[in-house]
């Protein structure tokens, strides 16, 4: 995907794009790259979610982009401030892998699947439909999201390139 302007989204970060800009994040293992898109306004947003819930946060001040339950509302708020409509928003996501499996593993170590579940619950609260996802597995991903057409490009060493 070639664009005049590439906006990088770091781990535990979020950003918005418009006017054909492309959002990109790398290193999605158990993290989830959640994207939102208003097709009428061509406003896109991306959050690189590391953990499912801010209830476990110990940092001060709180990094709202780090947690699914705080990143998604913040992303929506920023997109609305730029002119997007919540009712028009559509979501896509990638990541949420189970990178390591250990014998006797507890639910607390299932970070990838829990990140996916938390993102889905938050989208449901806002009535934002999830159009497609490429989640799970045991491999990392890099994603790019176009504010021009809402196409999410997913790259992985194991599975090549695909668009959703």
CA-wise closest residue to 138 among 115, 158, 118, 109: 158
119 in active site = no
Are 138 and 98 contacting, i.e. CB atoms less than 8 angstroms apart? yes
What CA–CA distance (Å, rounded) separates 12 from 7?
A: 15
End-to-end CA, the chain? 13
* Cα angle, residue 120 at apex, residues 7 and 140 outer, rounded to 5°: 50
Select which of 28, 31, 123, 128 is catalytic: 31
Catalytic residues: 31
């Amino acid at each position: 995907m070639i664009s005049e302007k590439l906006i990088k989204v770091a781990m535990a970060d979020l950003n918005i794009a418009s006017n054909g800009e492309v959002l990109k994040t790398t290193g999605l293992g158990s993290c989830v790259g959640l994207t939102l898109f208003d097709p009428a306004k061509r406003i896109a947003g991306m959050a690189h979610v590391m953990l499912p819930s801010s209830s476990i946060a110990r940092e001060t001040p709180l990094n709202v982009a780090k947690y699914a339950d705080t990143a998604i509302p913040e992303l929506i708020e920023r997109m609305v401030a730029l002119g997007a409509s919540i009712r028009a928003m559509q979501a896509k996501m990638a990541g949420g892998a189970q990178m390591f499996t250990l014998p006797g593993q507890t639910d607390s170590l299932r970070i990838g699947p829990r990140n996916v579940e938390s993102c889905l619950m938050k989208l449901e609260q806002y009535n934002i439909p999830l159009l497609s996802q490429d989640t799970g597995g045991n491999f990392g991903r890099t994603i790019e999201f176009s504010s021009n057409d809402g196409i999410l490009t997913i790259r992985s060493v194991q599975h090549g390139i695909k668009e959703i």
